Structure 1
Amino acid sequence: MAQQQSSAAQSADADERFREEIRTWLAENLTGEFTAVVGTGGAGHEHEQLELRRAWERRLGEGRWIGIGWPVEAGGRGASLAQQVIFHEEYARAGGPGRLMHMSEQLLGPTLLAFGTADQQQRFLPGILRGETLWCQGYSEPGAGSDLAGVQTRAHRREGPDGAEYVVDGQKVWTSLAHLADWCFVIARTDPTQQRHRGLSYLLVPMDQSGVAVRPIVQLTGTSEFNEVFFDGAVTSADNLVGAEGEGWRVAMGTLAFERGVATLGQQIGFERELAAVIATARSTGAIDDPLVRDRLVRAWMGLTVMRNTAVRMLRSAGDGTPGLEASVSKLQWANWHRDLGELAIDVAGPDGLLTGDHYELSDAQSLLLFTRSDTIYGGSNEVQRNIIAERMLGLPR
């Protein structure tokens, strides 16, 4: 017992030192030119300070703050789950800008560590760790949004001038930051004789080529972080196939599990800031004097607390920080909570919340309301998450 207590105390001391290290580093580096990126970026604001935020990603790379949970032999710090949580908490509380490397670091990197070859890891992971290579996710299609198994983008293998390669044809949609990305990880059908999740493959496709066209989608917020991507004879080396041909579904599901991992706690710190802003607005407009509004504010705080506790419990039970089916519960929680917060933000703003500037200049509350309409759709719609919970967790009939 004494030995266990001593080990726990040492772990707590190490975590506290880690917290002080990241807190100090952020205080020293979110200064000078990077003062302008504090609080910028994120959902609905990805257009803000793009060049500076790309430079910030490189600064994070120099400080070895990218891939901190990756194994040391892969270039990471081998940080524990508790330390990864600490990083995301301190980053959000310091006002660190929205991460352009999210897809690269939190999705593609862990996927390559789990399913990629040694050669793929050596070629692609260093660029992510340096904060240089941006990736986007080629999953959803016009006819296969939340139903990933229905993708129709095709890829056929052939012998090219430099060896075996895949030629990709099809369309992806709602592709976040595709207009900035260097590479895209694409789910494509390599066996047209198979249906649904069979016959799919997971390919890494370079974006800078004539066979790839990106068309930004202008959203209700007036911004365009989502895109349509058209593949018309796009080419990628057969060496860029992750897993075996036809195993794309398994790899893709792995990527989705990583997407709902420890980074969600940093997201919730951002939610905490948004809720604080809503409460401040309610005080300034006098809306907080309305008992019904106070009740909604309290319920929002309670929902955020429950959401955080659920996420921490889920990650701890996962062991490696990669949640399983329980991630669908977490997705339902935060998507609906965030959507409701957007509605509350406008309600407490009063009549001014319904007015925009002369050039459709949206307030933070208005951007929150409009962008959160998409929260219950992207990353797996509410309907799909409920089906997963019902069928795969509760064992209910299809």
Structure 2
Amino acid sequence: MDLNLSAADLAFRQEVQAFLAQALPADIRDKVRQGWPLQRDDYLRWQRILHARGWGGSTWPQAFGGTGWNAVQKYLFDEACAGAGAPRLPPFGIKMVAPVLMEFGSPAQQQRFLPKILAGEEWWCQGYSEPGAGSDLAAVKTSAVRQRDADGDYYLVNGQKTWTTLAQYADWIFCLVRTDKEVKPQRGISFLLIDMRTPGVTVRPIITADGAHEVNEVWFDQVRVPAQNLVGEENQGWTYAKFLLGHERTNIAGIGIAKRELARLKRLAEEQYRNGVSMLEDAQFAQRIAQVEIDLMALEITNLRVLSAEAQQRAPGPEASILKIKGTEIQQNITELMMLAAGPQAQAFQREAMDDAFTGYAATSGELRALGSNYLNMRKLSIYGGSNEIQKNIIAQMIIGL
């Protein structure tokens, strides 16, 4: 692969950077750069700004209203957005359920859902994990029984999903449900789209260690779902789930975000002193930063290879697992090094205590106060999307043949 940018690529990057400088709201940018939490309206406002520019579906083909960009353009766009402080949009609609609908959905489903996802009019969440089915999704027990009455065919859904990210904001949830208990577990799963406003759907918050309400339990009690909301064929949901997870694991790598946070780490380390010496000049600390940077450069090359494969209409393979493992490890390492650089100033991670803590420190203290929260939040990266241990098993099976 030729990694040198063409004149057209350089012009495209300049176009994106100019747009970001003009269109990215300052309040959203500052939240991202300081590591402060974003709200539903922040995400939707940015999605609508992108959509108005024609860039709402940066990874989508033109046939569905996307940009039709090639792999290099997608990469340059993501990198420029991360560098400018644009928020990383929740992937559940744009980058997860949308590709499934494009590949396996009916024309009616595509016409109903894709335009609203693109325009930022509907928020999606993911209904995969259950208390007894996390990385082992074949063990899902949430049931969907097909029935019929005077109004037509429908599924009656009962069960529970957990660790459902931002479900408190969601209009719709895409779910793996058990539609056949008598066959091999992977063969009895279906992919269902459920309106979160349907009677019987209950969302209960899970407050994480950093004090945030980001994940939830979602309960289904006799939830009626029209049969037309089944994606593809009944009992073939495992195929669609694997297709989706390949895209999720690729997205989790977060190369552009890691680059931005690495630059932030270097700046913070340069500003923090121990015994009169900048942390950036401390030999041991500098060596750890250098190792993260080397790992990130290697991951970037792998990411470009995966993007190239996607441009050739090939779904991500075992490379997606490699991206997931190394991408999450790098992001976790960066947050750990930020904590070490900040020292005790990073301890006020509880959000309700942040405003009153460390008021005597320098102007950067507002940024430092969020480091503890971000460090704790990043611990989940190596678990969701299929734990890193599971990803190593996938690599062993698909590449080594074990």
Give 1:122 deviation, angstroms.
Answer: 0.8
Does the 8 Å contact 2:348/2:372 carry over to 1? no
The 1:185/1:393 distance shift into structure 2, 3 A limit, reads same
Q: Tell whether 2:30 aligns with 1:36.
A: no
- The match for 2:51 is 61
The structure 1 residue matched to 2:122, chosen from 133, 136, 148, is 133
The TM-score, its normalising length taken from structure 1, stands at 0.89
User: Which runs of 4 or more aligned residues in structure 1 lie more than 6 Å from their structure 2 counterparts after TM superposition?
Assistant: none
How large is the Cα RMSD of the aligned pairs?
A: 2.5
- Structure 1 residue 116 displacement after superposition: 0.8
Q: 1:195 to 1:299 in 2, by over 3 A?
A: same
1:193 and 2:193 aligned: no
Please give the TM-score of this superposition, normalised by the length of structure 2. 0.88
Equivalent residue number for residue 6 of structure 2: 12
Which runs of no fewer than 5 residues in structure 2 stay unpaired? 273-277, 355-367
Provide the residue aligned with 1:299 in structure 2. 291
Look up the match of 1:392.
Answer: 398
Q: State the 1:177 CA deviation.
A: 1.1
1:175 and 1:264 map into 2 onto residues whose CA distance is 16
1:323-374: CA deviations, max 9, x gaps? 1122111111112222222222211222333355794438232123211211
The CA deviation string for residues 248-306 of structure 1, in whole angstroms up to 9 with x for no partner, is 00011111112234x457x2221122222222222222223321111111111111111
Distance in 2 (alpha carbons) for counterparts of 1:202 and 1:147:
16
AA matched with 2:320: A
Separation (CA, whole Å) in 1 of partners of 2:85 and 2:239: 36
Pairing partner for 2:335 from 303, 328, 342: 342
Q: Distance in 1 between matches of 2:50 and 2:149?
A: 38
Equivalent residue for 2:159, pick from 150, 170, 174: 170
3-state SS, counterpart of residue 225 of structure 1: strand
Structural mapping, 1:310-325, within 5 Å: 310-318=302-310, 319-320=312-313, 322-325=315-318
Contact 1:81 1:321 in 2 (8 A): no
Q: In the alignment, is residue 368 of structure 1 matched against residue 360 of structure 2?
A: no
Match of residue 261, structure 2, among 274, 277, 300: 274
Contact 1:57–1:132 (CA<8 Å) still a contact in 2? no
Q: Residue 217 of structure 1 aligns to a residue in which SS?
A: strand
Inter-partner Cα distance in structure 2 for 1:358 and 1:113: 40
- Answering whether residue 229 of structure 2 is matched by residue 240 of structure 1, we say yes
**Structure 2 CA distance for partners of 1:294 and 1:272, relative to 1, 3 Å:** same
- The answer on 1:381 being equivalent to 2:363 is no
CA 1:119/1:334 → structure 2, altered by over 3 Å: closer, same or farther? same
1:184/1:207 contact within 8 Å kept: yes
1-structure distance, mates of 2:94, 2:166: 14
Deviation at 1:321, TM superposition (A): 6.8
1:19-168 matched pairs, under 5 angstroms: 19-30=13-24, 34-40=25-31, 47-100=37-90, 102-168=91-157
How much identity, in percent, do the aligned residues show?
A: 39
Task: Give the secondary structure class of the aligned counterpart of 1:188.
Answer: strand
Deviation at 1:78, TM superposition (A): 1.5
Q: Which moved more, 1:240-249 or 1:300-309?
A: 300-309
Write the distance in 1 (CA, Å) between the matches of 2:64 and 2:249. Answer: 21
Moved more, 205-214 or 321-330: 321-330
Secondary structure of the residue that 2:168 maps to in structure 1?
Answer: coil
The question of whether the paired residues in 1 share the 8 Å contact of 2:124 and 2:170 is answered with: yes
- 5+ residue gaps, structure 1, are none
Tell me, in whole angstroms, the C-alpha distance in 1 between the residues paired with 2:303 and 2:269: 28
Question: Shift in Å at residue 239 of structure 1?
Answer: 0.8
SS of aligned partner of 2:207: coil
The alpha carbon displacement at 1:48 in A equals 2.3
Count of matched residue pairs: 382
- Alpha carbons of structure 1 residues 214 and 43: separation in structure 2 relative to 1, 3 Å: farther
Distance 1:43 1:211, change over 3 A: farther
Q: What is the Cα deviation at residue 167 of structure 1?
A: 1.2
Deviation at 1:229, TM superposition (A): 0.6
